[in-house]
Structure 1
């Protein structure tokens, strides 16, 4: 926007260059204007979250996977019907937590590790997503995909190849969401969540070692999610006809979170470890939606999945999508919809500002 200066008309035509005092004031005015423009521009960049070439590196499972699990339902309809309009490797009808945090940081969603050799190098500037659906802290029976340690090792190899430099890491953010599939594996192999105590301790200890591994590579800001209330997922709440969350899986989740917080508190940290409380945030959003539904029964039950899959003859599957995915919280039996993730992100947003601090 140009600067327009109006001089009242007089009988004498005079240039500002004729008066040294006026010229000095005009120079000072221009200097102040330049400073103000820089301040405004920096404020706009900060409001969008972007700062100093930030990159986002993502580790974990299907809650943050944006395309690494090629042979999975994430690449089949009806996933992706809201965004980008077709299946694109997300376990949702649209965006997931990774997309919202990338947007908060003012960058594009980082490329999935699977496609690192098939995209232009310029697309690597936003970071990389190593997360894969079905994986865990330990090996998972749900997939033979890379566990958390292996994902971090893949990250380290790219750093050793100078795809990302130490300078890149110092100004970047890591996002870690993992653990749910470990408990699913434990349940399927041991059969009883009541015996999960010792397993949780070993699981959290390994998770903290992995977080220290990310920190040791030079990443100075690490966002780690607390486990969501597992008993509220439709695959658990179906046992109450979607009337309430199952309590025992939620007890396990709370115990996991307490152990993780204790472990993080005892770490000697040179980085910022920001915990994103999915447990209380999920509960808050679900409770809010349930209260609204109590006043208007036509609204969707937040504990029900939007997508229901039926098995036909000869093993063929068909699916039925709810009338308004944009009003749902859960997309399928385990994963939030885009609306669900957006609602969760909206509540987490205030705590995310710690990632923008130098």
Structure 2
């Protein structure tokens, strides 16, 4: 009996060792993007996202425009890494396992106006990659001085890390907000992707090798687009989503995938995984009830209207009435049943569902699980 027990233990250890050898063992994540992956950048720079953001998972605001976790949080956990600290958050941060350069409202191209004028972050992707370059050089200089070794990534982590990127949607919606036609928005895509290439090249020359890149989602299904931009392109599909907006997103995604094909040739040491989150989100929004959700086009947290979205009264908004503070932007009773949190972003529950669909590579090109994203070119 004792020998059998020892044999079983040996087999379990062998299986665990094989599984570990079969993974990339990413020691860090460096993330670039917009609000879909911002874990506190915009909050640190321009004012915190207040309650009820964060209420479901964190029990308080946590820098995210969500009631809980984002897809990047689930990615980090799946790789055995802590949640990413925002690069711009200078208080109580630990960057030993990576950093997050994303900010809500960010674009690939520099925005056509200030944050106050346009609503889009000035921290575009070129700024994020410049911050990354500064972070790398300054963190290593501090480590060489014997400082903050427990709070900063080791030098070798930069070439072994996973670089996650989720950005592009705001470039497309910004065009509509500047009153461009659908055809005019489409015409901006080549320039947007040219700027994207420059950003990737910048990361590559700093040592980045393993890229996990999300395409853009079906923004024609989001309440803020349906409520604010419906007059720009009123056609809807059978699920109630704005058809022209989603067609633009699909065109952008095709061109993005083609761009990554060229980057694979131009940057031979890099490994690129293209992740089709558009299809995952489209399935969830189109067949919400099938997946345990309800009211797919209606915000959980908001105020009034067909989509429970009002750009003037956002999630958590309060007003003074008769000398008393009144909360107008209230959260729904059960966010776990809803897909859209505040008219723009997804709920914790939806983000978890999306992550579960993409983690094993079913929607990736090449079709590899995230734990093997360093080996995509070899499989």
Both structures adopt the same fold (TM-score exceeding 0.5): yes
Shift of 1:319: 1.5
1:63-96 superposed Cα distances (whole Å, 9 cap, x missing partner): 0000111266862111111010111111110000
Q: Is the 8 A contact 2:76 2:83 kept in 1?
A: yes
Which structure's CA Rg is the greater one?
A: 1
Q: 1:215 & 1:321 partners in 2: Cα distance?
A: 42
Q: CA deviation at 1:36?
A: 4.8
CA deviation after TM superposition for structure 1 residue 5, in Å: 6.1
2:69 to 87, 92, 95: 95
What does 1:97-136 align with in structure 2 at a 5 Å threshold? Answer: 97-115=71-89, 117-119=90-92, 123-136=94-107
TM-score, length basis structure 1: 0.80
Deviation larger for 194-203 or 55-64: 194-203
* Counterpart Cα distance in 1 of 2:291 and 2:356: 18
Structure 1 CA distance for aligned equivalents of residues 225 and 371 of structure 2: 34
- Structure 2 distance, partners of 1:245, 1:320, is 24
SS across alignment from 1:89: coil
Matching residue of 1:257: 253
Seen in structure 2, the aligned counterparts of structure 1 residues 34 and 281 have a Cα distance that, compared at 3 Å, is closer
Does 2:62 correspond to 1:63? Answer: no
Contact 2:239 2:286 in 1 (8 A): no
Query: CA shift at 1:183, angstroms?
Result: 2.0
Q: Is the 8 A contact 2:97 2:153 kept in 1?
A: no
The superposition leaves residues 244-289 of structure 1 with CA deviations (integer Å, 9 ceiling, x where unpaired) of: 1100100110111111111111122321111111111111122331
* 1:136 shift after superposition: 0.9
Q: CA deviation at 1:206?
A: 0.8
Mark the CA change 1:50 to 1:90 in structure 2 (over 3 Å): closer, same or farther.
farther
1:160 aligns with 2:133: no
**CA shift in 2, pair 1:144/1:347, >3 Å:** closer
Alignment of 1:1-358 (within 5 A): 4=2, 36=11, 38-42=13-17, 51=25, 54-70=27-43, 75-115=49-89, 117-119=90-92, 123-140=94-111, 141-161=118-138, 162=140, 163-238=152-227, 243-267=239-263, 268-269=266-267, 270-291=269-290, 300-309=294-303, 311=313, 318-351=328-361, 353-356=369-372, 357-358=374-375
Structure 2, unaligned runs of 5 or more: 112-117, 141-151, 231-235, 305-312, 362-367
Deviations 1:204-241 (A, max 9, x none): 11112211221222122111111101101122345569
Which deviates further from its counterpart, 86-95 or 300-309?
Answer: 300-309
Deviations 1:112-163 (A, max 9, x none): 1123x4336xx32210011111111122332443111111111111211215
Give yes or no for contact 1:132–1:145 (8 Å, CA) kept in 2.
Answer: no
Provide structure 1 residue ranges, at least 5 long, that are not aligned to the other structure.
7-28, 294-298
Mapped contact 1:221–1:355 kept (Cα < 8 A): no
**For 1:220 and 1:146, how far apart are their aligned partners in 2?**
23
C-alpha separation in 2, matches of 1:241 and 1:309: 25
What's the CA shift for 1:242?
10
- Could you tell me the TM-score, scaled by structure 2's length? 0.76
Native 8 Å contact 2:54 2:62 kept in 1: yes
RMSD, aligned CA: 3.1
Q: May I ask how many residue pairs the two structures share in their alignment?
A: 323
After TM superposition, the structure 1 stretch with the greater mean CA deviation from structure 2, 268-277 or 59-68, is 268-277
CA distance, structure 1, for counterparts of residue 48 and residue 92 of structure 2:
20
CA 289–43 in structure 1, closer or farther in 2 if over 3 Å, else same: farther
